[in-house]
Amino acid sequence: MDRRFLAAALAGLTLLPGCLAYNDSCAPLVDDPDAIVGYVGEEVLLDKTFTRHDNNALGQLAADAFLHAEDGAAKPTELGIINGGSLRDEGLCVTRTSVRTGPLSNGVLHEVMLFENLVVTVDLTEKQLVALFEHSVATLAMEGQAIVSPSGAFLQVSDGTTLRVDCARPAGQRVKELRVRGRAVSVPARDDEAIRYRVAMSAFVLEGGDGYGSILGNAGQDPDRNPVQARRLGGTDTNLTAAYMKDTYPSPVQALKEAPRVVFENCARPARPVSR
Amino acid sequence: MAILLTVLPRTLILCAVVFVAAPVHAQEPALLHASPPRAEVRQPLQLDATLVDGGKVLEVFVRYRGPGDPYIQVPMERQYGDLYRAEIPAEHMVAPGVEYYVEAAMVDGARTPLFMTALRPARVKVGEQPAAPVVSAPARPGSRGDAPRSAPNIDAFSPPSGGDDDGDSAAPADARGTPRPGTVTPAPTSRGNTVEPRTGSTAPEVTRGTAAPDARASTRPEASDPRATNNRTRTDATDSRAAAQPGTVDPKSPARPEGTDSRTAPRTSGTDSRGTSRTAGTDSRSSSRPAEDDAMAALTADLPPDSRASTSRSGTAAGSREPGASSRSSMDDDLALYSAEDVLAVTTLQEEAVRTVPAIGASFNRAQMIALGARTVADVLDVVPGVSVSRDVQGFHRTAVRGLRNDAEVLFLLDGHRLNNFFDGKALMNLPVENLERIEVIRGPGSAIYGAGAFLGVVNLVTNHADGVRGAVTTGGVPRDDGRLALATDGHLSVAHTTGDLRLFADVDLWTQDGDSLVIDHDALDAESVDQGLRNIEDPAGRTRDGRFFVNAGGGISYGLDSAGRVGVSARYLAEKRDALVGLFDTVGEDSQLSWNVLLADLTWDRPLGDGGQIRARLGFDQQATDRRFQLTPSDFRTGDGLDQRFPDGLQEETRVTVRTVTASVDADLALAKENHLTLGFVVEQQSLSSYAYTTNYTLDGRLRPSPTAPEGLVDLTELADGAASRRLNLGVSAQDQWTVLSGLTLTFGMRVDATQLPDVDAAGALDGRRTVVRVNPRVGLVIAASDALVLKALYGRAFRPPTPQELVERIPDTDYNQGRFEGNPLLQPATVDTFELGADLIQAAGDTRVRVRGNAFLQNFSSPITPVDTSGNIVPLRNRELGVRVYGVEAEARLEASKRAAAWVNASLSRAQDLELPGQSRLLTDVPQARFNAGVSMPLGDWVNLDVVVRSGAERRNNSRSTLELIRRYKIPAYSLITAQLRSEPILEHFEVTLFAQNLFDHDLRDDVPRPDRISGLLPREGVSGYLTLRAFY
């Protein structure tokens, strides 16, 4: 009889594995993962050194999308920024080291920008703006040094903005030149509260993520800074980016390519594959 | 599938072993015999038995004794076939009873116990149960309790197997009022038999059938003059014991004097969560048993201190002192023969059988812990169904209960005194088991008796205070991969003594280990370390360090103050110094040092009440000081080129925290009616964070400080908002009523109201004072003894836990090097859990083989649980998960005892935990094994050696995906099976035991999870094979 019990116990046991369940980590993050959102004109590398220590086409795409998030508003946005840490290579199931030339699917875009942060447009003072970029480039490696654990705080910038960085200078004084929408920003910044730049960024950065808290303070809550949260498409960075890409890079002819918006002087540069 | 492939093959092997083990008992002679529960006065008692596998048996003897007498031997005569018969002469059949056991003389001259042993003889009550005042005090022969109710009922020939006599006897024996006949008593298990004798500490109950399965319950109603008798009785008892022993011819008797007091001492403090309350229990029991106690005390004099007093039996059987219910209690006694049938005091503050306690629990006594090859509490917890123990990178053992793991949510008690640290909820719980009498584990909220913290589960560690001297030394170690043996040695010594009203105990554990050293290939500083030339690119990031030095020393004294009750004072000091297994978070810090000092002190008083209840009071104090210094980077690490950016000892941080708690509690057991038992409790507790210091040897911008200093911006938690976060007053009122409506039906209603001070915040979210949060936690339990073989339970309970000060307010300035922290959030609300449980417990006997099957299903709903979820990669505030977490599952266990030395057990659990805040595809919480399977087998190898094998298996684990970051920090820990095997001697020269054992015998590569699997990609390697030799001695 004892064996009967044991047999029953064993039978029960064999059922155990069938009861195990795990999350499907490969489940796409969007309903239409295969929908093409646009075309990439050259391979975009996603390793941290490329998203956080160099210009990056997808980062620039997102920054441009932010820039246009509030198109039509009374006061136009002058600058869009996205932190390099928002662009990920982990992928859902497999590490995605690069986005190949050609069509970019909605699923892949959501894997690369998978945090789904909200986008907020807000007024910043010149001081804040410069401090923002100083922080962005503070930890860039100097020429000759290895790029190790680049900081996710590095900012990719939108079209019309140029940033010239000299890594030979000490942190805090590395920004040599900054032009926003063609308008030169005084470096060092003038201490004038009246000089404002309308900047679009992710709520993550605005709320102090990646060490921006001390620079941005409570700009996100200050009515004087007129913070506006994007409403279109749920207001998330990825959706806005997808929509912008659809409009701007709809074909292999009009495909996304990286632009030299941040100009690096005396900085280490990631080694690109030879084929590129 | 993975688990199928990985776990099952081994499982099947094990099961094969189990099947093999079942018939193992056939190798040794066995006796089929049932002890009659009661016999008539002055009538010879005829004992019949069937000898099985008696090939090597030369002769069979019965050794019996009357109260206070030495054993007398009579041969069992072979009648025909394998039937043997002996007779205890009429002149020895006097009240209150006789005890006997059966022994065989083997062909090789050895003597083998066949049925019970000298230490744990079978007891036959002689004469009628003294329903009315009975017999005079030191009743030696002559005293009688006339009018035998039932004739000696010997049913020696219960079917050897398959006969399932259990069913019948199980039946409503209550109706018959006759003691349960024909119970086939298995060969004496070292564990089981103790049960009933131990019952009434001073007031032993007489044998099964004697009614009063629950000494408390039963005695309470009629306790005549508790106090007076009580003390006298105790004294007498002690004396009689003393007298009994010297006179004992049986050499075994003095062998375990610990047994002497097994009734009193172990209970004195250990068991009970309220310190000496146990003592009171004892007293109250004795009080209600005036007369025959003294005599029976002699009988029980030398019982070993097994934990499982038959007091164990619950309120369920409360009414069973009624003659009509006596068979119920006899069944209980039989059940108690299982080692699996152990007691829990943690649920109701009184020892109750796990089987009938209104909670889903488990209890491990010493014998079981030894048979598990367990060295530490963690080893034991890991075989409890529904419980998994893992380690984290800092080296802490983390206990997961039913699929969830949170340090602050499993309440650890050491002799009823909370071990969880007020600041962070962690408990220094991984004590060596040598000092423990038993470990009680409740899954789910324990009971209405415990307030904050008894959330996922309750673990009560009960130290051994049995009289005698016990020592143990274990030495062995882990073979490291460089060929060296990492030594591990621990020693234990404990002494306890009872003299009259005075009881003393002292014990010490020492533990030292070098620990395993396993390779960590990658950490977060791979690139920097290589770049700075601190190591070569092919070298690993480092190795685990697992050195540990641990001391556990305690002592106590208690004194009976006649009618004023018993006062006791005890103190314990725990100190641990160890390495961090890996480091703080995502880097190897081989020079990290963690120390933890705990001082516990208790002043207790308890007194029996006139109605058989008792009242207990406790004043407790504890102080915990932790000092955790983590090395965050390798030595000589540079954060830049500057002179002050080189760190010869690496970047380091140190957190020193001291917390204190003062607790005052009063609780009372009241017998409202015969079958209604009320426990009331009131507790006031002041917890405080008396010092907090966080220092680093680096500045926020990564420069070396001349000496470790608090970083800029760090808030002193002790001064925050005038101490709002660092002091907490808790008030708790509890009431729990156990009402045996019918003999088989017990209802438990409990209610606990807690008022807890938490920090308050203003509109801006800043701390500005304290508020009091009131939580009401009901508990309802229904325990139905459907038949003697089957017990059903339906339980509901709610528990809560307030956030810890760490969760509320600790904010460490963020740097690149000290990551992995969450920011305190003063807005956190207490979390609550509602638990629904259904349980069943079934016993089946066939021949001398018994099987217990126990199973339960549960559903737990957690509201606003506090769970650290990294959502952004930045330091984020903790928060309550608003939609809660739901867990459901089943747990089952089975135990088979084939003979005294052959047993097998299995348990399995399956749970599913879901975070309801998430979309369907990422809802499951899978970072602890959803399925666990544990099994063990103990079997004799010849006359002197036992083999124990234990298998622990767990299903595959995967990262949770509650946030995007968790989703992309992927890991998969394959299913595992770990095997512990040991060879264990039978007692040598009555005083010694030797055990040789190996943990993780096949050196399975077990890994645990790390918080950053993307950085420490090899996860956390756990201990490989290790081997030990233990020598235990007891006097």
Per-residue confidence band for B203, with pLDDT thresholds at 50, 70 and 90: very low
Which of A2, A27, A152 is nearest residue B846 as measured by Cβ atoms?
A: A2
Mean pLDDT of B748-774: 88
Helical ranges in B161-289 per DSSP H: 165-170, 173-176, 195-198, 215-222, 226-247, 252-255, 265-266, 277-287
Q: Are residues B329 and B419 in the same domain?
A: no
What is the tens place of the pLDDT at every residue in B449-507?
A: 676 778 899 999 999 999 999 999 999 999 998 889 999 999 999 999 999 899 999 99
B958 and A3 within 8 Å at the Cβ level: the answer is: no
Q: Are residues B326 and B388 in the same domain?
A: no
Q: What are phi and psi of B869, to 5 degrees?
A: -125, 120
Region for residue A38 given its phi and psi (left: phi exceeds 0; alpha: psi -120 to 50; beta: otherwise) = left
CA closest to B162 among chain A residues? A1
A225 located within any domain = yes
Quick one: average pLDDT of B797-805? 92
Does residue B174 lie in a domain region? no
**Cis omega (within 30 of 0) on the bond before B96?**
yes
Check if the beta carbon of residue A167 is closer than 8 Å to that of residue A264: yes
List, for residues B338-386, the tens digit of each pLDDT value. 333 455 555 555 666 767 788 888 888 888 899 999 999 999 999 999 9
B chain contacts of residue A91, beta-carbon cutoff 8 Å: 968
CA distance A91 to B15: 42
Residue B458 forms part of a structural domain: yes
Most confidently predicted of A161-170, B8-17, B101-110, B359-368 = A161-170
Spacing of C-alpha A265 from chain mean position: 23
Of B358, B393, B408, which closes a domain?
Answer: B358
Confirm if B129 and B146 have CB atoms less than 8 A apart. Answer: no
B395 plus B354 within the same structural domain: no
Classify residue B703 as exposed, middle or buried by CB count within 10 Å of its CB (0-12, 13-18, 19+).
middle
Answer yes or no: pTM beyond 0.80.
no
Work out the average pLDDT over B3-20.
Answer: 47
* φ and ψ of A221, to 5 deg: -110, -10
Residue B302 DSSP symbol: T
Using the 8-state DSSP alphabet, how is residue B410 labeled? E
- Report the CATH number that the domain containing residue A113 is assigned in CATH: 3.90.780.10
Q: How many distinct helices (H) and strands (E) make up chain B? A: 16, 50
Q: Which residue has the higher pLDDT, B561 or B262?
A: B561
Whether chain A has a CB inside 8 Å of the CB on B632: the answer is: no
Q: Please name the residue that has the structure tokens 């002179």.
A: B643
How many residue pairs from chains A and B have C-beta atoms closer than 8 A?
127
CA distance B416 to B438: 12
- B928 and B861 co-located in one domain: yes
Q: How many residues are given for chain B?
A: 1035
Nearest CA-CA partner of B702 in B644, B624, B787, B621 = B644
> Taking Cα atoms as reference points, which of B481, B251, B478 lies closest to residue B990?
B251
Q: Does B22 touch chain A (CB under 8 A)?
A: yes
Residues 938-957 of B with CB under 8 A from A: 955-956
Q: State the amino acid at position B683 in one-letter form.
A: V
Q: How far is CA B890 from CA B335, B775, B935, B978, in A?
A: 23, 29, 17, 22
Q: Give pLDDT, residue B52.
A: 78
Tens-place pLDDT, residues B926-982: 999 999 999 999 999 999 999 999 999 999 999 999 988 898 899 999 999 999 999
Q: Judge if B604 and B496 occupy the same domain.
A: yes
> Are both B591 and B725 inside the same structural domain?
yes
* A212-237 pLDDT, tens digit each: 988 998 899 999 999 999 998 999 99
Mean predicted lDDT score pLDDT of chain A? 91
CA trace torsion B631, B635, B637, B641 (10° rounding): 130
Instruction: Please report, as a single letter, which amino acid is at residue A255.
Output: A
Q: Do residue B420 and residue B510 come from a single domain?
A: yes
| Structure-token match 């109710």, residue found | B149
User: Is B757 a member of any domain?
Assistant: yes
pLDDT 10s digits, B389-406: 999 999 999 999 999 999
Which tens digits make up the pLDDT trace of B832-875? 999 999 999 998 877 778 888 899 999 999 999 999 998 877 77
Residue B351: predicted pLDDT: 65
Residues near B146 by beta carbon (within 8 Å), at least 6 away in sequence: B41, B127, B128
Instruction: Flag whether A91 is in a domain.
Output: yes
- What residues does B1004 pair with on adjacent strands? none
Question: Are B248 and B396 members of one domain?
Answer: no
Report the complex ipTM. Answer: 0.83
CB contact under 8 A, B894 and A211: no
pLDDT at A246: 95
* Per-residue pLDDT at B588: 96
If one counts the domains in chain B, the total is 2
**Closest CA–CA distance from residue A200 to any residue of chain B (Å):** 19
What is the CA B613 to chain-centroid distance, rounded? 25
Tell me which residue of A95, A81, A115 sits closest to A46, measured CA to CA.
A95
Q: Is B872 on the interface with A (CB under 8 A)?
A: yes
Q: Which is nearest to B736 in space by CA: B832, B796, B669, B792? A: B669
Q: A3 vs B22: CB contact, 8 Å cut-off? A: yes
pLDDT of B583 above 70: yes
Q: Domain range for residue B729?
A: 381-647+677-1034
pLDDT: which is higher, B275 or B564: B564
- Asked whether the predicted pLDDT for residue A4 surpasses 80, the reply is no
B327, B358, B389 — which closes off a domain?
B358
Mean pLDDT of B634-643: 90
CATH number, domain of B880, equals 2.40.170.20
pLDDT, tens digit, for every residue of B403-444? 999 999 999 999 989 999 999 999 999 999 999 998 989 888
Confirm or reject contact between A144 and chain B (CB < 8 A). Answer: no
- Please tell me whether residue B743 adopts helix, strand or coil conformation: coil
Facing A19 at nearest CB: one of B8, B844, B910: B910
Q: Which domain holds residue A115?
A: 29-265
B896 interfaces chain A, CB cutoff of 8 Å:
yes
Query: The tokens 């076939």 sit on which residue?
Result: B81
Backbone phi, psi, residue B537, to 5°: -65, -25
Residue B477 counted as domain residue: yes
Please check whether residues B441 and B545 belong to one and the same domain: yes
CA distance linking residue B791 with residue B842, whole number of Å:
7
With an 8 Å Cβ cutoff, are A211 and B814 in contact?
yes
Whether B385 and B310 map to the same domain: the answer is no
Tell me, yes or no, whether B411 lies in a domain.
yes
List chain B residues with CB under 8 Å of A10: 15
Is pLDDT at B259 greater than 50 in this prediction? no
Final residue of a structural domain among B358, B393, B426? B358
Q: Let me know if residue B418 belongs to a domain.
A: yes
CATH assignment of the domain containing B322? 2.60.40.10
Provide the number of structural domains found in chain A: 1
DSSP per position, B134-176: -S-TT--TT----S-SS-----TT--SSS--HHHHHHSSHHHH
Of A87-101, B330-344, B429-443, the poorest mean pLDDT is in: B330-344
Phi first, then psi: give them for residue A64, nearest 5 degrees.
-65, -40
pLDDT at B123 over 90: no
Q: Are strands B931-941 and B945-954 parallel, antiparallel or unpaired?
A: antiparallel
First to last CA, chain A: 74
CB contact under 8 A, A6 and B19: yes
Q: What is the pLDDT of residue B447?
A: 56
Residue B931 sits at the chain A interface (C-beta within 8 Å) = yes
Residues B544 and B692 in one domain: yes
Do B338 and B414 share a domain, yes or no?
no
Q: How many residues in chain A?
A: 276
**Gap between the Cα atoms of B827 and B681, Å rounded:** 30
Q: What is the pLDDT of residue B569?
A: 97
The mean of the pLDDT values for chain B is 77
H/E element holding B413?
strand B410-414
